């Protein structure tokens, strides 16, 4: 899945608004096939916006924006001997 640049968020909102307007127009004109296709596109655009917002929230919560240090795992139990 391609990731949307945070700078494109306003454009994505505009696309969602435009799709909603096109769905209304298609309903008015009785273009049922067009309505169905546009609704699929609208759903996916909204999902991308939600994913972008989650990504921005994760980046914001990670104060310096870098990778998260997980540390070294602790291995318990006997160590294997030489082979």
Rounded to two decimals, the pTM is: 0.68
HEC readout, 13-74: HHHHHHHHHHHHHHHHHCCHHHHHHHHHHHHHHHHHHHHHHHHHHHHHHCCCCCCCCCCCCC
Domain count of the fold of the chain? 1
Instruction: Give domain status of residue 70, yes or no.
Output: no
Instruction: Give domain status of residue 21, yes or no.
Output: yes
Q: What is the pLDDT of residues 25-71, one digit of tens each?
A: 999 999 999 999 999 999 999 999 999 998 888 776 665 556 777 88
Provide the 10 A C-beta neighbour count for residue 23: 19
Q: How confident is the model at residue 83 (pLDDT cuts 50, 70, 90)?
A: low
Instruction: Give domain status of residue 69, yes or no.
Output: no
Query: Which range of residues forms the domain containing residue 35?
Result: 6-61
Instruction: Give domain status of residue 51, yes or no.
Output: yes
């Amino acid at each position: 899945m391609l990731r949307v640049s945070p700078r494109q968020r306003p454009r994505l909102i505009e696309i969602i608004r435009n799709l909603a307007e096109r769905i209304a127009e298609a309903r008015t004109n009785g273009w049922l096939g067009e309505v169905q296709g546009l609704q699929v596109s609208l759903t996916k655009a909204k999902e991308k916006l939600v994913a972008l917002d989650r990504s921005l929230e994760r980046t914001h919560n990670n104060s310096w924006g870098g990778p998260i240090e997980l540390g070294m795992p602790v291995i318990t139990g006997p160590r294997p001997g030489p082979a």
